[in-house]
Each structure stands twice: as structure tokens, then as C-alpha cells.
Chains A and B, each alone.
Chain A
Amino acid sequence: MNDFIAARSQMAISLGFHIVYSCIGMVMPVFMAISHYKWIKTGNPVYKNITQAWSKGVAIFFATGAVSGTILSFELGLLWPKFMEHAGPIFGMPFSLEGVAFFIEAIALGFFLYGWNRFNNWFHWCTGIIVGISGIASGILVVSANSWMNSPSGFDYVNGQYLNIDPVKAMFNGSWFSESLHMTIAAFAATGFAVAGIHALMIARKKNIQFHTKAFKIAVVFGAAAAIIQPFSGYLSARNAARRQPAKLAAMEAYFHTRQYAPLVLGGVADTANKKVKYGIEIPGLLSFLVNDNFKNPVNGLDKIPVKDQPPITITHLAFDLMITIGSAIMLIGLLYFVALWKKRSWLSKKWFLNLFILSTPLGFIAVEAGWTVTEVGRQPWIIQGVMRTSEAVTPMPGIHYSFYLFTVIYFTLSIAVIFLLSRQIKMVPQLYDKVN
């Protein structure tokens, strides 16, 4: 494994895990605040129990997310010093604000976790809400920084020099809105389905039914609503990619030849040697329509892009299809939930219905990982789209593969530890959080 591939793999592993910790860390506080609110309003102790049980999960994920975030803030420099040397002053603005948001989150979490029976209920509730708001703000800011790499702005690149730097303009680059929106909704969908799935499993096992049913409901409402609106933000993201990163869009679609009435291909395997998609279903004109608002105008294909500037097509296309497939599946399941809620309440306790949610526990996160792969692999070979190549940014230090192995071990160990702790938390619900039921 050469150092460049090792550095990219280490970054991928780090972000791949961090994205899960941070999605949960930013969405769970919102669920927690809802159930906390219900407890204060109704006085029903079950809601207090749920809030306390969830807050332990939040604490575990926050601690893990905080350390993996610390690792990342150093890894940017450890692995990509040349990138940070030039990009730091330009896209650093959202990072410094994120530092502030993260700090506030840590302070508020201290208040929230240790504040039971110490503060006025509403003050205590507010600290929980602040945890949620600053968590989501952190997420949006970090994704804005990433979106700058996709659509760099706020500087002039003249003869290899970065001039006229404007960090605020860089922060509000062309992709910041569509990308942060897509990621935030994805975080809600993925976390909502994951949390709902775990509670559905406990309901199916007939454990603390009242507790788990109420918890399931809060999580699933967010998850389902997010899954239903996500395609619209996906549409914005794809159009944005078409405008700013045609190579990425073409790779997502494995769209080789520029033509009129560009088709949208469902499924299929990219055959890069023969420049075509095998086994896919073509819907003529749909890609043209999505990009240009009419069915006829051509969409630029990979043939317009020099081979040395093309991203890896097979991976990008496969990841994109995976994301779309899962996204559609959980959207349908989400719709089904609302149908059940309004028209068919009897479904809610049916075995098949619960099983559906149990099976979808990991789906949202698989889609998040796939989407992340699309955006990162689809940007290659650039680290700053059109300005700096990833290979130019990598550290001169040799032996990076050792650090890649090391971090792989660390992240797997951490994740196993987190799963172990969560399973122990869930196992102890009857003793610790929900004694009466």
C-alpha cells in the first residue's frame, strides 16, 4: 500500500466512523428534548425515564464523537499538510465557528447530564435544547467546510497563489446550503430509523412495552418525516453537482456519452472498459429534465472530461445507487408509518410492522456512508475541486500505512466498545430507568 492510498484510506476510515458518531450525537439530543418536554408537560414518569436513558446514550456518543473529532482536526494536518497550509485560512471560518458551537455544546451537556434535581425544570430543559441546537449547528458548519472543497470560492487562484481571500464568502460557497441540508436531513433519517429499530426490537420482545412504544414513536416520527423529504434535498444536491462538478454527476450516473434526451439509469453496473452501463433500466430524458428542466437539452458526460480529471466511476456509481435504493426504501417505510398512524392503528403492534422497522435499523446509516462516498470519491482526483489535487496535498512523511492500520484498529475497537455499552444500557432499562413497567 503506498503512502498516498494509505492516507486516503485513513481519512476515509476516520470520517466514516466520525459521521456516525456525530449524526447520532446531533440528533439524539433533539429526541431527548422532546421526551423531556413531554415529561415536564404531562408529568408522566415514563417520559422522564426515556429522557434519562437516552441521555446516557448521548453522553457515550458525545464522548466518542468528541475524541474522533479531535483526531480529525489533527489528521487534516497530519495527512494533508500542503492542503491545510493553503486551505486553512480560506475555509477555516466554519471550523472556528464550529469550535465555538462544539464548546457550547460541551458546556450545555455538562449542565444537562449533571443537572437532574439541581436546577429548575425549564432551565434544565433549555440546556438540553442548547445541546441539540449547537450540535446541529456544528454539523452544518463542518459540512459547509467540506462543501467548499467541492465548490471552492472566496479566493482567486492566480499562478499557484491564493489571493484576495474572503473567508465569509468561502463559507457561504455555492454548495453549502444544498450539502448541509442534505446531510442534516440524512442525520435525522438515519438516527431516527436506527433508534426506532432498537425500540421496535424491544417491543417485539415484549420488554417494558410502554417505555419502548413511547420512545419508538418519538424517533420514528422524525426518521420517517426526514426520509420523506430527503429526495427533494437530494434533487437540489444533484443539480448543484451538475452545475459545479459535472464529473461527479457523470460518475454518479455512470453517464459516459454526452447526448440529448439524457437518460436516468436505474441500477446497473458500470462497464468502464466499454463505456456503458450493463443491466440498467434507462428512463430517457429524465436526467436532462432533472438538470436542465427540459427533456431535450444535453447533459455533459464523462467524454467531456479528461481521463486524468475523472473520479473512480465504478465506486461512485455503485455508492450512488445504494444510497438511492435505501433512501427510497426508508421513504416508503416512513410513508407506511404515517398511514398506520392515521388510518390503520392496528398495524402498529403487528409483528410484521415491527419487523420492518427492526430490519431497517442500520439502513439509514448505510445510506449515509454511501452518500458520503459519493461526495468524497466523486470529487477525486481533486482535494479542492479544480484547484489542488489530492496527491499534491499528502504528507511527505513515509510509512503512513502503519498509522492507517493503527487507526483502523482504534476505530473498530471504539465502535465495538460503544455497541457493547449501548447493549448493556438497553439490557439494564428495567432496572435503571423503567422500574414500574
Chain B
Amino acid sequence: MLYIVIAFLFLAIVLYFLLGGADFGAGIIELFTSDRNKDRTRKTMYHAIGPIWEANHMWLIITVVILFVGFPDIYSNMCTYLHIPLLIMLLGITARGTAFAFRNYDAIKDDKTQGFYNRIFVYSSFVTPLFLGIIAGSAISGQINLQATSFMDAYIYSWLNWFSVTVGLFTVALSGYLAAVYLIGETEDDNERQRFVRKARIMNILVVIFGGLVFIAAEIENIRLAHWIFGNAISLTAVISAAISLLVLWLFIYYGKKKIIRVFAAFQVTMILLSVGYTHFPNLIMVKGGQNLSLLANHAPAKTIEDLGLGLLIGSVLILPSLFYLFYSFQKKNELV
């Protein structure tokens, strides 16, 4: 049952990256769209994510719940040593979620308040994945120091280092890239599609640049990232297949395929997560000078894992089909309209 729970944990994390990440990405795309085209982009975006965005963010809740029920040591250490980035991420989530809902449900759509919501929405869409990335980066960076005695060592340097920050920027670029690729298939307007293709290209370049920076930062901080990723067959295969699928994706875009490319983009992100996740498994949090926090060693008692696994299995029977139907029906109806 422990492995089922762990599988759900990874599933929730991957889906949050793919779906929640694309949501943040939509805000990032909006941030980098010229004023002339903003309204149009906003409309397409709303059309695409309106019905599903609340559900997309539930994966974060599922992740947190699995962590605190099943792996309480890991959760409480994360919450203690990454308190500050978690707090900033929460601010981002709050600002973003409410601004998105408010701008759609404000009964009077005057420019002044709409502009206000838009600004909050786009900036928080940038900040939230940045800090999500920083948190993820910090978890694997090995900079968390359980023996720290000073405030700076315990609560600041655990996450404020070159590696975590570049992982944050990489996450932002990845979110923007996902959103741009998803949005290519959401519009029937050729000019707009060209715009999204351009955005996807820029974001793709940024992904590569920031990915490179992550490696450089890892060198600076003495993190053996290259070894993690190229040092074992599965991680290496994952990265290589992501790279190959990137070429295929641009080929498909060139030939005007709009929907299938999403699968490739999602595949690439999943492969990146897989390559990092696999090399560290079963450890989830690397710590400085101590025992890493492991999913296989630091879990809740067997009875809890048993019940949690059962709850997740039953829950997924209810959630996954209805979620699938939600995506399906709005995708289909959007095509008809």
C-alpha cells in the first residue's frame, strides 16, 4: 500500500505541474502579451481554463494532504525550514485565485477595477511558480540544515541559493511554455495562433537557457546535478526522450497539428520530473549533514498508510472519470460553439 500512496503522491505532483503549471503559465503569457492583443488573449485563455481552473489547483491540496497524513516528518520539516518560501507561494496562490475569480465575477466590468485584477493576476502568476520551483529546488538541493543554529542558516539559506532560484526561474519558463503550447490549440484565429506559436518558441528558448543556468548554479553550489541526471540509465533516457520529443513537437507545429502537441509538451515536463524524481527516490528531501528524508523510511504507521491508500483509491474512482468528463465536455463543446 505504501507504494500506492507514493504513486499517488507523484501523480498529484506531476498533474499539478502539468495543469496548475499551465494555469500559471497562462498568466505569464498574459504578462508578456502586448496591450494591443491582451483582450483577445485573455478571452481565449478564459475560454480554455474557466471551467477547469479550480479543479487544476486541487492537485496541490491532494499533494499536501498525502504529505501530512502519510509522511508527517517530511511535511513538518518542510514547513519549518521552508516556511518563508511556502508563505510567499501561499500569498501568490491567494492573490492569483481570487483575482482570477473576481475579474470574472465582478458584475460591473469597468476598466479601472478590471485593470487592477489583471495586474494582480499576472504578477502573482509569475511569483507563484517561481516559489514553487524554489521550494522544489530547495527540497533536492541539500541546503536544508536540520542542525542549523542561526536564523539565516535555518530559514533563509535553506532556499535562498543560486540553485533553488534558478530552478524557480526554470519552473516559470516551463509553465509559460506549457500554457503557450496548450493555447495554440484553443484558438481558431490564425493570427492569434501565430502569436501563441511565437510565445511557445520564446518560452522554449527560455526553458533551455534557464535549464542551462540550473546546471551552472548546481556547479557553484556543489550540487551533483549532472551526475544525478546523466548518471543512471532511467534518468538519462527520460531526458533524452524529452529532447527528442521537443524536436517532434516543433515538426508538428510546423505542419499545423494543434492538439497532439499538447501531449508532447506534457510528456517533456513529466520526463523532467521523472528524471529528477527517479534519481533521488526514495528520498524526497535532501538535508545537509544528516539523514535525508525518505518516503520509504519516514512514513506514517502502517495502518495509516493502509487507510490513506484505500481513501485515495476510492477517491480516484470518483475523481478521475468526472475530471476527465469535465475536460472532455468543455473541449468538445468549445469546438462546436
Contact = CB atoms under 8 A, between A and B. Distances in A.
B107 A84 contact: no
A398 B83 CA distance: 11
A419 to B, nearest CB: 12
Interface stretch (B22-30, B89-97, B263-271): B89-97
A129 to B, nearest CB: 14
Contacts of A432: 107
A103 B104 CA distance: 21
Nearest to A60: B105
A56 interface: yes
The 6 closest A-B pairs by CB, nearest first: A92-B69, A77-B79, A63-B101, A89-B300, A100-B315, A88-B72
Contact of B311 (A70, A90, A96): A96
Nearest to B323: A107
A165 B318 contact: no
Nearest to B59: A103
Interface in B254-311: 300-301, 303-304, 307-308, 311
A66 B54 contact: yes
Contacts of B79: 74, 77-78, 81, 84, 395
B212 interface: no
A106 B65 contact: no
Is chain A's interface secondary structure helix, strand, loop, or mixed overall? helix
B80 A96 contact: no
Interface in B218-247: none
13 contacts: A62-B101, A63-B100, A68-B94, A78-B87, A81-B79, A89-B70, A93-B304, A95-B65, A96-B311, A100-B311, A104-B319, A114-B51, A167-B69
Contacts of B61: 69-70, 73, 99, 102-103
Interface residues of A, number: 66
Given A99-B62, A427-B107, A166 B83 contact: no
B60 A70 contact: yes
Nearest to B317: A100
Nearest to A395: B80
A85 B102 contact: no
Contact of B107 (A97, A107, A425): A425
Interface in A416-437: 417, 421, 424-425, 427-428, 432
B36 interface: no
A93 B308 contact: yes
Contact of A165 (B80, B90, B105, B301): B301
A63 B96 CA distance: 10
B48 to A, nearest CB: 12
Contacts of A82: 76
B253 interface: no
A265 interface: no
Given A63-B54, A107-B326, A77 B76 contact: yes
Contacts of A108: 322
A71 interface: yes
